[in-house]
């Protein structure tokens, strides 16, 4: 057994099967996981069962997604992809190999042609994802904003308001953003992964890219998936431009209506992601420091908060605090004199 593996919402382990395992004919490794206690979900989940979704994706030839093995009616496990994350191969904002950009483009194309009616039988968590909302890109973004406000503020009872204030972040920035939102071009809804970052891509031993962690998948405007991907991948300027053009070209070839209004609407989605991430990364950073003050975990939390503040600085007219200043603010919040070593 290897682990725990990296992951925010779950504690996961890779298990190598013995020669006498009844599952060895199909898998050499399996992944077992369970939700972490006390972890706040910043994004809504649309489907109750990631495993059921994966089974449908594989049936419809979405490339390189984990296989699901049903042990019984209640228990299922994922195949474990032996390899390394894209983040380990190309950390930070490092350039991604052309072969892997090709495969990310292939994924976007497969989602553009995927018939979302195949998901009608899946049990859903969020009723507002019903297909009656199809093509309403403006309504989709408004619901994203409202859901973020509810989760970040209402559900937390103002717990983090002082922390936002001390970091120079207004507590109503998302409300102002929604008020000033310009109507978006309608686009046909498709299945979205919703969390396409470097740690959710696994490079296997054949140098192929697998897409894991579909638990935030939802139905909505496909441009949001591109915006989320660009925001989370931290591409350099050259590759961000390249991936945007790749997405436009490949999606236009199979779903022309999905690329209408991209030039005007992509900046709005990116602006939303930057503002949302300021709040979520501050909360995540503060709670990470609370769980493990001092050392590398706290240092990473401080760096993550500063990165989010920097990304949204123009949007929110922020003065970005230094690492030391953020360190002190987080330290006061958790009642520690210092959250990082040295």
> Comparing 3-12, 49-58, 201-210, which segment has the lowest mean pLDDT?
3-12
Distance CA 47, CA 122 (A): 7
pLDDT higher than 80, residue 194: yes
Q: What is the four-CA torsion angle of 84, 86, 88, 94, rounded to 10 degrees?
A: 160
Higher pLDDT, 279 or 45: 279
Asked if the structure places residue 169 within a domain, the reply is yes
Evaluate whether residue 143 is within a structural domain: yes
Cα separation, 16 vs 13, in Å, equals 10
- What is the per-residue pLDDT for 155? 66
pLDDT of 131 over the 60 cut? no
In a domain, 72, yes or no: no
- What is the side-by-side strand order in the sheet with 29-35? 2-5, 10-16, 29-35, 76-79, 68-70
**Averaged over 26-46, what is the pLDDT?**
62
User: Is residue 157 situated within a structural domain?
Assistant: yes
How many percent of the chain have pLDDT more than 70?
81
Q: What does the pLDDT read at residue 72?
A: 63
27 located within any domain: no
pLDDT tens for residues 304-315?
A: 999 999 999 999
The tally of domains found in the chain comes to 1
CATH number at residue 330: 3.90.1200.10
Residue 54 falls inside a structural domain: yes
User: Is 130's pLDDT higher than 50?
Assistant: no
Q: Does residue 316 or residue 25 have the better pLDDT?
A: 316
Instruction: Please check the confidence at residue 292 and state whether its pLDDT lies above 90.
Output: no
Identify which has the larger pLDDT, 56 or 27.
56
User: For residues 7 and 70, what is the distance between their CA atoms, to the nearest angstrom?
Assistant: 23
Angstrom distance (rounded) from CA 203 to CA 200: 10
pLDDT digits (tens, 9 = 90+) for 207-238: 999 999 999 999 999 999 999 999 999 999 99
140 has pLDDT over 80? yes
* Domain residue limits at 141: 41-65+83-334
Q: Residue 330, exposed/middle/buried by CB under 10 A (0-12, 13-18, 19+)? A: buried
Res 124: pLDDT: 79
Note the pLDDT of residue 338. 41
Mean pLDDT of the chain: 86
More confident residue, 48 or 63: 63
Phi, psi values for residue 68, rounded to 5°: -110, 135
33 belongs to a structural domain: no
| Closest of 248, 228, 206, 234 to residue 105, by C-alpha | 248
Task: Please indicate, yes or no, if residue 288 is contained in any of the structural domains.
Answer: yes
Could you tell me the pTM of the whole model?
A: 0.86
Angle at which helices 295-311 and 323-334 pack, to 10 degrees? 120
pLDDT of residue 153: 77
Q: Measured on CA atoms in the order 133, 134, 140, 142, is the torsion positive or negative?
A: negative
């Amino acid at each position: 057994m290897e682990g725990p593996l990296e992951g925010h919402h779950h504690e996961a382990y890779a298990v190598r099967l013995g020669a006498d395992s009844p599952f060895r004919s199909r898998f050499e490794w399996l992944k077992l996981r369970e939700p972490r206690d006390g972890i706040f979900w910043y994004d809504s989940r649309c489907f109750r069962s990631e495993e059921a979704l994966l089974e449908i994706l594989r049936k419809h030839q979405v490339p390189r997604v984990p296989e699901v093995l049903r042990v019984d009616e209640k228990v299922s496990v994922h195949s474990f992809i032996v390899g390394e994350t894209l983040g380990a191969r190309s950390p930070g904002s490092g350039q991604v190999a052309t072969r892997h950009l090709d495969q990310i483009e292939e994924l976007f194309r497969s989602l553009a042609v995927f018939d979302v009616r195949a998901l009608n039988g899946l049990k859903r968590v969020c009723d507002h994802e019903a297909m009656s909302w199809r093509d309403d890109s403006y309504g989709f973004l408004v619901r994203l904003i409202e859901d973020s406000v509810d989760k970040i503020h209402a559900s937390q009872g103002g717990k983090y308001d002082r922390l936002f204030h001390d970091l120079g972040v207004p507590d109503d920035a998302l409300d102002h953003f929604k008020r000033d939102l310009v109507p978006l071009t309608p686009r046909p809804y498709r299945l979205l992964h919703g969390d396409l970052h470097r740690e959710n891509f696994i490079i296997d031993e054949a140098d192929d890219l697998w897409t894991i962690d579909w638990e935030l998948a939802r139905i909505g405007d496909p441009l949001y998936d591109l915006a989320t991907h660009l925001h989370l991948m931290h591409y350099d300027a050259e590759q961000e431009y390249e991936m945007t053009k790749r997405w436009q070209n490949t999606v236009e070839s199979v779903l022309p209506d999905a690329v209408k209004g991209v030039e005007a609407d992509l900046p709005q989605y990116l602006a939303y992601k930057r503002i949302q991430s300021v709040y979520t990364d501050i909360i995540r950073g503060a709670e990470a420091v609370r769980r493990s003050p001092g050392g590398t975990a706290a240092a990473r939390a401080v760096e993550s908060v500063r990165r989010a503040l920097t990304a949204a600085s123009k949007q929110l007219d922020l003065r970005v605090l230094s690492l030391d200043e953020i360190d002190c603010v987080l330290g006061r919040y958790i009642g520690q004199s210092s959250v990082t070593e040295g």
